[in-house]
Amino acid sequence: MDQKRKDSASRSRRRFLTDSTAIIGGAVAAAAAPAGALADDKAPSNGNLPPNVPEWMKAPGADVGSQPYGTPSPFEKNVIRNIPKNQPQYTSSASRTPIQDLDGIITPNGLFYERHHGGIPEIDPAQHRLMIHGLVDKPLVLTVEDVRRFPSQSRIHFLECSGNPSYTAMKGKTASDLVGLVSCGEWTGVPLKILLQEAGIKPGAKWVIAEGADAAAMTRSIPIEKCLDDAMIVYSQNGERLRPAQGYPLRVFLPGFEGNMNIKWVRRLHITDEPVYSREETSKYTDLLPSGKARQFTFYMEAKSIITRPSGTQKIEKGFNEITGIAWSGHGKIAKVDVSVDGGKSWKAATLQEPVLTRALTRFRLPWTWDGSPVVIMSRATDETGYVQPSFEELTKPRGLNSFYHNNAIMRWQIAANGEVTNGNA
């Protein structure tokens, strides 16, 4: 670099530093500890802090390739899946995404929530096949490599378990305890429509029965309309092959549909004129109404949102706080997220992070200055169909309290005078 360019680069760097300091300084002016202050009286006296040169600058760091498959910093060791404690982990079990510790909308593969009804099978892809049969002209038995030869696509979508949380489990401490059975990733695979066209579906085909190759042989009936629309057979998740817990080597992906229907380790697609009425669409995943009748085949997950920061077990300080969280709807894009900082008396529209994607998590943010008085904060999502996320009272008025699945009620956080955040739904 010649001297002139060096000078101008360092000038623009200085200008950048001044500008960004101004922004940060302005935003947290009201906070107790202004960012960038040289005398940090909260830190233990430590030779690594300014103006000293920290230890990790005094010798070269680790070699490239010291971690052939990278893992997070050891200082982030607490950001892990939330696995219920004091509970035997039977093969039918779940783990939750630590949504309160994540930013943006993409869930890292190692933190994706899990729900297994018969444990995680270890499948050798060379010995796995996908069979397509029933009301078709040409039954197919495909290898994983056969599936990968079809035209592919990648789409970003959320996946959510329909018991997230159940009607009776709104007592958790953290955002993850409450609604950690939701994650979002980029899915790559083949549109299911292409595979069905290859097999040639016969007139009268109305359902596709998908079966998983796990010990539970999880089986669900999918309406043919969805199969010919945006359904996929996926093999990759966030760029790499599916994790075993997410259905390696092949899984059904039905954007916006309840998690249970997204059959993992899929081995068979049976094209029929009737649903199969499996355990998961009769005794489970149905909602018993006050009339004694049950809602069956709830396909799409309805609009929902939760504030992830500040949220349960966190502690805030007086002054500036950014309120942020996630919203999603199985019916399409999120149109609006309103936030209340007065227990629902008044609402303010949060900013939605672009791009807002259909059937994907959407990040919302609202700047807020807390005056130190106890408050209840909450968020309310509206999707592009105009549907508004209900309060628990609004949700249970028509549905009653016998239901277990499909609870998309507004979640409340209580903030005490000392800044401690707790579950405000009790």
How many residues belong to the site for ligand MTE (CB under 6 A)?
Answer: 20
Answer yes or no whether residue 264 interacts with ligand MTE by CB under 6 A: yes
Instruction: Pick the piece of the chain touching ligand MTE (CB under 6 A) from 111-119, 122-130, 289-297, 302-310.
Output: 111-119
CB of 299 to Mo ion, least distance (A): 14
Answer yes or no whether residue 112 interacts with ligand MTE by CB under 6 A: yes
Q: Which of 177, 214, 302, 383 binds ligand MTE (CB under 6 A)?
A: 214
212 touches which of ligand MTE, Mo ion, none (CB within 5 to 8 A by kind)? ligand MTE
Residues 97, 159 contacting (CB under 8 angstroms): no
Scanning the structure block, which residue is given the tokens 């904060």? 377
Answer yes or no whether residue 302 interacts with ligand MTE by CB under 6 A: no
CB of 56 to Mo ion, least distance (A): 43
96 or 115: whose CB is closer to Mo ion? 115
CB-facing half-sphere around the CA of 282: CA atoms within 13 A: 6
Answer yes or no whether residue 262 interacts with ligand MTE by CB under 6 A: yes
Residue (of 66, 65, 47, 64) closest to 55 by Cα position: 47
Instruction: Pick the piece of the chain touching ligand MTE (CB under 6 A) from 256-264, 331-339, 374-382, 395-403.
Output: 256-264
Answer yes or no whether residue 161 interacts with ligand MTE by CB under 6 A: yes
Q: Which of 246, 358, 362, 379 binds ligand MTE (CB under 6 A)?
A: 246
CA gap 357, 324 in Å, rounded? 18
Answer yes or no whether residue 260 interacts with ligand MTE by CB under 6 A: yes
Residues near Mo ion (CB under 5 A) are: 115, 161, 259-260
CB of 262 to Mo ion, least distance (A): 9
Answer yes or no whether residue 114 interacts with ligand MTE by CB under 6 A: yes
CB of 59 to Mo ion, least distance (A): 49
Q: Which of 187, 265, 405, 413 binds ligand MTE (CB under 6 A)?
A: 265
Binding site for ligand MTE (CB under 6 A): 112-117, 159, 161, 212, 214, 216, 218, 245-246, 259-260, 262-265
